[in-house]
Amino acid sequence: MLGVAATLVALVAILAASIALDAWMTRNRVAELVNTQIANPAGPAVGAYVARPTTPASDPRGLPVVVMLHEFWGLKPDLLGKADALAEEGYLVVAPDMFRGRTTSWLPRAIYQAITIPEEQALGDLVPVLAWVREQPDVDPARIVIMGFCYGGGKALQFSLRYGQVAATGVFYGALESDPARLQRLPGPVLGIFGALDRAPSPEQVAAFQLGLQAAGVPHEITVYEGVGHAFLTDMEAIRQGGTQGEAWAQFVRWLDRVVP
């Protein structure tokens, strides 16, 4: 028993040390990815990557906006690639750093980040981001969509439930809500894209989410793609090759064109 306990203590110590080492090694990585700092009355400025269309808005209303939330890894280059691709479709895209300068490719640290950063902090930091978006002279404040992947998908849903302020919400395999009484608070349509092989959320949880949206009277489009699991949408290189990733991305762009025309 003492040997087992000692082994467990040693493993925990090694894991903790690896997380600390990864934090030190990646300490400047987010600063290299963001191009905008947004003032935040509740804390430090929120770093964000902002992608704009290469041509000015032809619509007199201004540009539609997508606030794109990252996975539990933190802000990473693959998300920036998605933001750039969406900007090519005519959207102003804001990808905020919800982890206040933290990012990783090390799974234990990603899990640690997701469970130790308070949800109130992560969601609260999005409030000034939305305020900043509305202040931009070339955007249409009535056409703002919030969406995210994995961790960010769940946070996009929670932001819409708590704060509203958006025209629609997109959830790529994020944590869900099934209570119709809560889902009634959603300010607009919902897109949900999931993998049939995923367990977080599982197909059963997705079905409960869809039933909750139906009972709440929220317009929605829910798709479960066969043969794929969690986080199946990787980067734009893979998306452009087609297949399930390309199909899911195309569905997302079509949905955007409908909900913020």
pLDDT classification of 7: cutoffs 50, 70, 90? low
Q: For the chain, which domains are there?
A: 29-259 (3.40.50.1820)
| 148: β partners | 69, 171
For residue 5, pLDDT beyond 90: no
Geometric angle at alpha carbon 86, from 157 and 104, rounded to 5°: 65
Would you state the pLDDT for residue 10?
Answer: 59
pLDDT classification of 6: cutoffs 50, 70, 90? low
Reduced to 3 states (helix: H, G, I; strand: E, B; else coil), residue 244 is helix
Among 17-31, 116-130, 177-191, which is the least confidently predicted range?
A: 17-31
pLDDT tens-place string over residues 49-87: 999 998 877 889 999 999 999 999 999 999 999 999 999
pLDDT tens-place string over residues 216-260: 999 999 999 999 999 999 999 999 999 999 999 999 999 999 999
Contacts 24+ apart (CB under 8 A), 14-21: 15/108, 18/106, 18/108, 18/109, 19/106, 19/108, 19/109, 19/112
What's the pTM value of the predicted model, to 2 decimals?
Answer: 0.94
